[in-house]
Every structure is written in C-alpha cells, then in structure tokens.
Amino acid sequence: MALFALMNKITKIIDDFLEFNNLKYQFEKISFEIKENHNSDPYLVINSHPFSCDYFLSVLACLKFQMTAILSNPFWGDSEKKNLDKLVSNFDFPKNEFHLILFSSGSSGTPKGILHTLESLMEASESAINYFHMEKGDSFLVSLPQHHIGGLMIGLRALFCGGKLCFLEHQQKVEDKLKSNSYDYISLVPAQLKNLIKENHVNLKKAKGILLGGAKEDHDLQQLIHDYPVYLTFGMSETAAMMMARKGGEEGFDLMPGRIVKLDEQKKLNVGKYGLMKGYILDGIFRAELSKDYLQTQDLFEVRDGKYFFCGRSDLMINSGGENIDPIEIENIIKSISGIKDAHVVGKAHEKWGEVAVAFIEPIDLEELVQKELEKKLLKYKIPKQFMAYPSKILKDSDKHVKLSRNELKQFAKLL
C-alpha cells in the first residue's frame, strides 16, 4: 500500500478510535502541545506516566504527525537517562516517517534501543487480533506499563480492532480496577495474576482472555488458572510482544497468524520478518542484526505435532560437569514456595565442575525451607550449591519496573 493511502487509512482509524473512546479533546490538547514545542523535531521523547492515557495518545500523535516516538520511563535512573541522551544525540532520525523506539530491559547486558516501524506494529497487532478473535467494541485494560512493549501493544490492539481502551486512574492499582469492572482482555505478568486469583477477583472470570506474559508459568500458578480464561504467551520486544500463545493447562504453543519462525541445529529460535523490529540501536548507531531475513534468538524450542515447546535459553544455561541446568526451572520452583518474594539462579565458576548453580532468594531467612523443597523436586546436581541474599544496591525496584540484571548478579556471586 502506498504511503499516502496508508496514512489516510491510519488517520481514519485513529479518528474513529478517539471518537469511540471519548479521547478526542485530550488528543487535540496533546497534539497542540507537540506542535508548539516539538514541531521542528523529528522525534518525541514520551515522559508521561507509563499507565496514563496521555502516554498512549502521545504515541498516536507521533503516528499521525509521522514522527519517531521514543518510549521512556519517567522513573529511570541516571544510567538509563544517559543512554537515552546518547541515542537522541547520535541517532539519525528518519524524516516524515513514523518509527517507534523502546529499550530492552537489559537483563542480560547493556540496554539497547529497539526500532519498530508502523508495518511491524500493525502486523503484530493484527496477528494477535486474529488469534484471539478480538472484535470491535471489546474492552482492553491497560494493566502493564506502556514504556514496555507488552503495555503499549494493549493500546495498539484496541486501536486496530476498534476496541475500548480503559486506563488506570491516578495511582490506581489493577486489583482496585477489577473490583468494580470487568474487561474482555487483560494483560498480566505471573505475579499480578497469582495475587488477583488469590484475592478472588470474580471479574477475572468474565474476561475473554487473560494474556499472561512469559514462556512458562510456575508450578503454583498452574494449580490456580484452570477455571480462568488464561492464555500463556511468548514474545519479546523485538517481535512487538506475543508471537506464540497457548491456553492455560494445555501443552505446547501455537504459532500465531502470520508469524514466521525456524529452528537451527542448536534448536535456537530464528524469527522471520513479520511483526519483527527493523533493528537495534547501540550508542545511537543503527544495526540491522538480521541474518537472511531472520533474527536469531537465544530461546531454545522443540516442535512436536505442530506445537512449540519452550526448553530454556542457551545464554542462561549453566553447564555443571557436562550437565545442563536451566535456571528458570529452579527459579519457578523457588518462587512457588510460600513466603518467597523473588529468586534468581545464576552460574558461578567451580574448580571441579566448571560451573555450579547459586541462588539469590528474598528473603534469605527461608534458605533452609527452599533447600528442603528443592531436594524433593530436583536431581541433586541441579540444586544450587549456595544461597545468597540480594545485594541491596541492585534489588529489583518493582515500583519503577526495573528488571534486575543477571550479569550483575553473576559478578556479585564471583566475590562470595
């Protein structure tokens, strides 16, 4: 489709969406401010609260004005702000064309800018809309922060299917919103869903789909979701969120409509261009990072009877005496133990075995209980050889949605 015809179509979609959601006045207000203060800039750094209506409307304004939208977190610390400043200073922004830049979580390395186009975001949205049969008038709760791709895509799916978008009010929590309202589609992370089910929020059962991020649910959660319309999803920022999904309780993921993947000899997942980012931005320099139209990931999968089974990540695997240890498997068991707030398992160099697993747990006071539980459920070589308290300087800050770095934990483990 020619760019002019496409933009006419997008403008009509946006106008209809704003009218249906009663957001026209707020959108015009934001648009006026952008024209007044950023008219000469080819980009906009979005600094609104990541759960707010203004955040999503700013993205739509960039789309309508054909600017680059940069998703920032107003709670970022100095290192993240410096990374953003470097990108803005060095990057050659496209003129008169919409792009979206967000940042990877940085859980396994330096945060990278991820560049999406209108085409990739539309493809990813339509893939999910078709898989879940999302319809005009369906309601979507913005239950994840929009500076992450999982939160932003909630709004884009609502936009492209003609849905109703519902935002949290100032400092309102998801659980408070669900006490008095039901929604057709709710996107959550495992910890959120577990708490909501335990608090018996009846409106959860009225949803058409509770979309849960992450390739695996933990053991505790498996026992809770049978009576709920839960779909486990797999995806990443590079694929504009979910690209595989499965109904809770079922085994194996479905590849969602339009998505293209292949497995290499090491069983690593390679993702084709449909819904895929254009490339990475490191220190303001664009890098395509694609080999023969595919992006190689570190995610390991097996295919059986047309279903995709997640086997872990090659870059996280711990090789101990020739045996592979999946830290995610151990973490899920630890997190299922009552009283445990968080857990991370990393590898530590060992003179005899090459590497051994060590576990950071919160609170550390439950070390003995964790040890006994793991002995019941794991082979001996998989049980962590050491349990540690999280170092205070890199504790996960849930209010700021900062993802804890495994690399930092590995470095810390070396010192003990």
Residue-wise pLDDT for 110-140, tens only, equals 668 999 999 999 999 999 999 999 999 999 9
Query: Which residues does 87 contact at the CB level (< 8 Å), separation at least 6?
Result: 70, 101, 113, 281, 283, 284
pLDDT given for residue 108 in this prediction: 45
CA pair distance 294, 115, nearest whole angstrom: 15
Q: For 77-94, write each residue's pLDDT tens digit.
A: 787 788 888 888 889 898
CATH number of 3-311: 3.40.50.12780
For the entire predicted model, the pTM comes to: 0.83
Domain ranges of the chain: 3-311, 318-414
CATH number of 318-414: 3.30.300.30
Measured at the CA of 279, the angle between CA 275 and CA 282, to 5 degrees, comes to 145
Residue 50 in this model has a pLDDT that exceeds 60: yes
Q: For 193-213, write each residue's pLDDT tens digit.
A: 888 888 877 889 999 999 998
Least confident of 121-135, 143-157, 320-334: 320-334
Residue 390 in this model has a pLDDT that exceeds 70: yes
Q: State percent of the chain over pLDDT 70.
A: 93
91, with CB counted inside 10 A (0-12, 13-18, 19+), is: buried
| CB-CB contact of 102 with 117 (8 Å) | no
92, with CB counted inside 10 A (0-12, 13-18, 19+), is: exposed
Cβ burial 286-312 (10 Å sphere, 16+ → b, else e): eeeebeeebbbbebbbeeeeebbebbb
Which residue shows structure tokens 């711990």? 318
Q: Provide the pLDDT confidence category of residue 105 given band limits of 50, 70 and 90.
A: low
pLDDT given for residue 218 in this prediction: 62
C-alpha distances in Å from residue 101, one per residue of 27, 29, 50, 148, 281: 21, 23, 15, 10, 9
Residue 191 in this model has a pLDDT that exceeds 90: no
Mean pLDDT, rounded, for 364-391: 92
Q: H helices of 303-397, where? A: 327-335, 367-377
CA pair distance 337, 372, nearest whole angstrom: 11
Short-list 319, 317, 320, CA closest to 353: 320
Residue 299 in this model has a pLDDT that exceeds 60: yes
Q: Provide the pLDDT confidence category of residue 393 given band limits of 50, 70 and 90.
A: low
pLDDT given for residue 61 in this prediction: 96
| CB-CB contact of 358 with 388 (8 Å) | yes
Least confident of 44-58, 113-127, 168-182, 297-311: 168-182
pLDDT given for residue 107 in this prediction: 45
Q: For 230-273, write each residue's pLDDT tens digit.
A: 999 999 999 999 999 999 888 899 999 999 999 999 899 999 99
* Mean pLDDT, the chain, whole residue set: 88
